[in-house]
Every structure is written in structure tokens, then in C-alpha cells.
């Protein structure tokens, strides 16, 4: 009998990629598959997006890029953190990975290693910090960085220019518009491709433009915005976390449930015990009232989440030991659990335990 179980819905991944392609409106798509495909499995996600016609992938590190090449994926491949060492440059070269230069130290590494590299072989992007103040060269540093790349024979002359938005998920896009303005001033007369949009900007900011977009969370069915819901954009959940009831019991009025006695039964009430907890990746911060489905019926958790168990309010719910419990998935948006727990769907997806991921059921893989 199965207990907590992760299911990946490949049809949903493909569908969401099609939504992104349509929003991209002719722009090319780097599907973001970093962090093990946002917890869905790097290769599961990448193969689904490949089948749905992505133009490329965005990963965080060269090692992730290598894993995709070794699996036989031939699309363009953007390494967001770029190369930090000569070995990583060699890896990029050997496997046609496109490296982002976001810091001057990476140019130093390139120049001290460049004589060993074949001519024009390495595709490069410059990341400009247009206001997020995380990774990226300042606008003033870009011309010098471009000159250094152009004078390096190993670098393909078509250098890309990219940036990343800090606040495209908010209803007020003034900070994003300011970033776009900075980007445009840097990109004026740029020879090479450009890329600006994450999921939120792709769906919410029609003026951002660029040759490439870089959607991530929307491809997995998460809502990229801090308002509204994913379904409004026809996005489908690609991950389901389900388990079953291992006990159904009655808690007397005044009985305190679980560690810390956080929930006190206001009346004698039926409580379900389900086999899932923070050890599986269910958020420990989920408060009383966090929604959960039992036999497809919406109810709520009561009491603190334990390592491998949660307790569920079964008032008004017909349920027995062995019945199905859905933590999130097609019947309950992961964003609801994230919001209740003070986090975002990205984190819940990435937090699913390695064991559940390794044993995930993959539905619809061709
Ligand atoms: C992760 C990432 C993305 C994708 O962001 P989403 O919000 O998941 O769409 C795009 N660009 C960069 C630089 C990233 O790090």
C-alpha cells in the first residue's frame, strides 16, 4: 500500500510550455529547469519541454547543463550563473553551453584561460543589473565587459545581453518599467540577442520585449504573481503530492492535537491522521486551517505538522483509514498551501524530499 507519493503530470508540463510559447508571441523560449526542474526532476521536465518544442533550457550551473547534454538534449542551453573556473569553461565549450558573465571575476578567469580555447567556440551572455542588485554587472561596466569578450578569440562574436526582474510579480509594475528603461539604454545598438522576462514578466508585462524569454514557475503550474491564481492563465499543476489516512479517531472537546497542543478541539470531533509531514516536504509552518483534500473534499489541517504525519479536521467529511489525501495537485493549488504557510510555490516544489522525488510516478511520459 502506498503512502506519501509524488506524481508528475507530463501532459501538464507540455501544456504549460505551450501557454508560455503563445505568450512569448514569436520570442524564443529558454525553459528554466534549475533546482532539479523545480523539484519535478531535471530530465522529466526537460524531456517534456523538449517534446513541447522549447528552444532551449536555462540551468543554474554547468553541471546541470552537462546532465542535460548527457541525456541527449540538443536545444540551446543557458547557464545562468556562468562559469567560475577554467574547468567549467572547458565543460561549457565541450557541451555547447552558453555562459552568462555576471561578474568581472568571470572575465578574468576567461582571459587567463582563453589561449587554450578554440576560436569563436564559446557562446556568451552578459547579465546587466538593471535594479535587482543581486547578480549582474552594473550598466557602466557593460561596455568594458563587451570589449573584453570581443577581444577574446574564443568567444562567439554574437554576445547576448540579459537582465532579471525583481518585482515583476507585483500588481504595480513601476519598478519593472524602470528596469526595462535601464535595460533599453544599455541595449541600444547592441549586436546580439537579448533576454529579459521571467514567467511574471512574460505573462504580465507586454512591453518588456527581448529575443528570448526565460519562464520557470509557470511551466510547472505555479502562479508567478503575488495575486490571483495560476488557473486564470490556463496553467495546470504538474505536481501532485498525495497520501492516505492511516487513522481516523475522535478527539474529545478540549483535547489538544499534536506537538505544542496548537489546536484545541472546540467540540468532540473526528480527526484523520495522514502519512505525510515535513520530512516529505510538506511545510511545517502550515497553520491550522491550511486546506487539504480528503477523498476530493476540501477540509483543513488541525495541529502542528510532524515529520511524517499531519492531522486533519474530518468534521463533515466521510472518510476511513486508507482513503486518499491530496496535499496539493490538480484538486488543490500548491499556491494555496504556499500562501497559508508564508512561502511561495517555488519553495514547496523544491522542498519535496529526495526520496519522494526518486520514487515519483511519472504520468504521460512518451
Ligand atoms: C529562475 C530564473 C528564471 C525563471 O523565473 P520564474 O520566476 O520561475 O519564471 C528566469 N531568469 C533567471 C535569471 C532565473 O534565475
Measure the CA dihedral 291/294/296/298, to 10°.
Answer: -30
- The string of pLDDT tens digits covering residues 136-155 is 999 999 999 999 999 999 99
Query: For residue 61, what are the contacts with CB-CB under 8 A and spacing of at least 6?
Result: 79, 81
Assess whether the C-beta atom of 204 lies below 6 angstroms from ligand 1.
no
How many whole angstroms from 216 Cα to the centroid of ligand 1? Answer: 6
DSSP 84: -
What nine digits make up the cell of 115? 589561449
- Considering Cα of 105, then 61, then 279, then 339, what sign does the dihedral take? positive
pLDDT at 270 over 80: yes
* Closest C-alpha among 323, 327, 331 to residue 356: 327
Average pLDDT of the chain to the nearest whole number: 97
pTM score, whole prediction: 0.97
Which residue is catalytic, options 34, 38, 233, 282?
34
Q: What is the DSSP string of 244-257?
A: EEEEEEEE-TTPEE
Task: Examine the residue annotation and report whether 34 is marked as an active-site residue of this protein.
Answer: yes
- The string of pLDDT tens digits covering residues 62-79 is 999 999 999 999 999 999
* Separation CA 179–CA 366 (nearest Å): 41
Confidence class of residue 365 from pLDDT cuts 50, 70 and 90? confident
DSSP 259: G
* Closest C-alpha among 167, 184, 163, 185 to residue 176: 167
Assess whether the C-beta atom of 199 lies below 6 angstroms from ligand 1.
yes
Count other C-beta atoms under 10 Å from residue 362's C-beta: 16
Domains of the chain: 10-225 (3.20.20.10), 239-363 (2.40.37.10)
- The string of pLDDT tens digits covering residues 79-137 is 999 999 999 999 999 999 999 999 999 999 999 998 878 898 999 999 999 999 999 99
Amino acid at each position: 500500500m502506498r503512502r506519501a507519493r509524488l506524481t508528475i503530470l507530463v501532459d501538464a508540463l507540455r501544456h504549460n510550455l505551450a501557454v508560455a510559447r503563445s505568450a512569448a508571441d514569436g520570442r524564443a523560449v529558454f525553459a528554466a529547469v534549475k533546482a532539479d526542474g523545480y523539484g519535478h526532476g531535471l530530465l522529466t521536465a526537460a524531456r517534456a519541454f523538449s517534446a513541447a518544442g522549447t528552444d532551449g533550457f536555462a540551468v543554474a550551473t554547468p553541471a546541470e547543463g552537462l546532465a542535460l547534454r548527457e541525456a541527449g538534449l540538443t536545444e540551446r542551453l543557458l547557464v545562468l550563473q556562468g562559469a567560475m573556473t577554467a574547468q567549467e569553461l572547458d565543460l561549457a565549450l565541450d557541451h555547447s553551453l552558453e555562459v552568462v558573465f555576471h561578474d568581472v571575476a568571470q572575465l578574468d578567469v576567461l582571459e587567463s584561460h582563453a589561449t587554450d580555447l578554440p576560436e569563436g567556440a564559446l557562446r556568451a551572455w552578459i547579465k546587466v543589473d538593471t535594479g535587482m542588485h543581486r547578480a549582474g554587472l552594473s550598466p557602466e561596466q557593460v561596455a568594458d565587459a563587451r570589449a573584453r569578450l570581443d577581444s577574446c578569440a574564443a568567444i562567439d562574436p554574437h554576445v547576448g545581453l540579459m537582465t532579471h526582474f525583481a518585482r515583476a510579480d507585483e500588481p504595480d509594475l513601476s519598478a519593472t518599467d524602470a528596469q526595462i528603461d535601464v535595460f533599453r539604454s544599455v541595449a541600444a545598438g547592441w549586436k546580439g540577442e537579448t533576454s529579459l522576462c521571467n514567467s511574471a514578466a512574460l505573462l504580465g508585462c507586454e512591453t518588456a520585449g527581448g529575443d528570448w524569454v526565460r519562464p520557470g514557475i509557470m511551466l510547472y503550474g505555479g502562479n508567478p504573481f503575488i495575486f490571483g491564481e495560476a488557473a486564470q492563465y490556463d496553467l495546470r499543476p504538474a505536481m501532485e503530492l498525495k497520501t492516505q489516512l492511516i487513522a481516523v479517531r475522535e478527539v474529545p472537546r478540549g483535547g489538544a492535537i499534536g506537538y505544542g497542543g496548537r489546536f484545541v478541539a472546540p467540540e468532540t470531533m473526528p480527526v484523520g491522521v495522514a502519512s505525510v509531514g515535513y520530512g516529505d516536504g510538506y511545510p511545517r509552518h502550515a497553520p491550522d486551517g491550511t486546506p487539504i483534500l480528503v477523498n476530493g473534499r476540501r477540509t483543513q489541517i488541525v495541529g502542528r505538522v510532524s515529520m511524517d504525519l499531519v492531522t486533519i479536521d474530518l468534521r463533515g467529511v466521510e472518510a476511513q483509514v486508507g482513503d486518499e489525501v491530496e496535499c496539493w495537485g490538480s484538486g488543490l493549488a500548491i499556491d494555496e498551501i504556499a500562501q497559508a504557510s508564508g512561502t511561495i510555490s517555488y519553495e514547496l516544489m523544491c522542498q519535496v524530499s529526495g526520496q519522494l522525488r526518486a520514487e515519483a510516478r511519472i504520468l504521460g511520459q512518451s
